[in-house]
Amino acid sequence: MLISTKELLETAQKYSYAIGAFNLYNLEGVKAVVNAAEAENSPAIIQILPNILEYGGSPLVALFLEAADSAKVPISVHLDHCGDRAIIETALEAGVQSVLADGSKLPFKENLAFTCEMTTLAHAKGATVEAEVGRISGTEDGMTVAEKETKMTDPYQAKEFVVESGVDFLAVTIGNVHGQYYGEPQLDFERLSKISQQIHIPLVLHGASGLPARMVQQSIELGVCKFNVNTEVRQKYLQFWREFGRTDSKSDLLDCQKAATEAMQEVIAKKIRLFGSAGRANAS
């Protein structure tokens, strides 16, 4: 069933678990998320990045929305990492439940001004807004942020930002990175604790691919209610097709699509269990 992202995250916050938000590109990805969520009796979030929205257009958004609406468990559709008002307007008009109004590359005051504007726009359409204070390093889908450009989230700035903007949930930077971690992740849990003491809306952690279970659990205990996942699911999809190309070129394409879906579904199901949302589809 199609549901508000805010409702999903506030319920997760109430019961101390987190929801997986999975960046998707096609039908196979959508089926993998829905199948995994239904099998685990879990809520989930389908995410679309601006460049994928540009590529697939309104038909792809309609696919995501219909898949969420037809699911037996609560699922929302979210626009990820967007700093373009026109794209945000397009997504809202198409019916997405929430957007990440991403002004994190801007100075604090400019980020705040942009987020305020997008929050007013989204709320007027019944949608909700995620914002980002701080700058996450790494590379994902053509977006690269060098280490020297990163900035950890300041707890007191975060409080000011949330109060002034009226956003519904906040993505924080505590040492997490987009894409692949090279070496043991180093998350600043003391900083996360201070942030959660200052603000009381659901917190979001990007770069959940590769985080060990103990860090995931500690993040949830300190207020994280949404983890973004892209790299591991995308890599599993690409791995399937690379191996298929070397070993089997005679199978029916539909059989291959089903197998690729199952490969991604396995990864997604593990994340759902890791985040503690399995069995929570009926939480309220």
Q: What is the pLDDT of residues 37-84, one digit of tens each?
A: 999 999 999 999 999 999 999 899 999 999 999 999 999 999 999 999
**Known catalytic membership, residue 102:** no
pLDDT of residue 186: 81
Residue 280 domain flag: no
Residue 282 domain flag: no
Q: Do residues 130 and 100 make contact, with C-beta atoms less than 8 angstroms apart?
A: yes
Catalytic-labelled residue, pool 69, 80, 102, 141 = 80
pLDDT of residue 185: 79
- The helix (run of H) or strand (run of E) holding residue 213 is helix 213-221
User: Distance between CA 91 and CA 75 in Å, rounded?
Assistant: 17
Residue 108 domain flag: yes
Residue 130 domain flag: yes
Specify the CATH number for the domain of residue 124.
Answer: 3.20.20.70
Stated pTM of the model: 0.92
3-class DSSP state of 228: strand
Lookup: tokens for 203:
């917190």
pLDDT tens for 174-198 read: 988 755 555 677 899 999 999 999 9
- Structural domain boundaries enclosing 51: 5-275
Residue 158 domain flag: yes
Q: Is the pLDDT of residue 253 over 90?
A: no
What's the alpha-carbon Rg for the chain, to the nearest Å?
18
pLDDT of residue 145: 43
Partners of 65 in the β-ladder: none
Q: Token match 């900035």: residue?
A: 151
Residue 39 domain flag: yes
Looking only at the bridges linking them, the beta strands covering 137-140 and 177-178 are parallel
User: Distance between CA 85 and CA 107 in Å, rounded?
Assistant: 17
Q: Token match 């201070």: residue?
A: 194
Domain count within the chain: 1
Measured between alpha carbons, how far apart are the two ends of the chain, in Å?
A: 14
Q: Do residues 131 and 106 make contact, with C-beta atoms less than 8 angstroms apart?
A: no
pLDDT tens for 203-231 read: 999 987 778 999 999 999 999 999 999 98
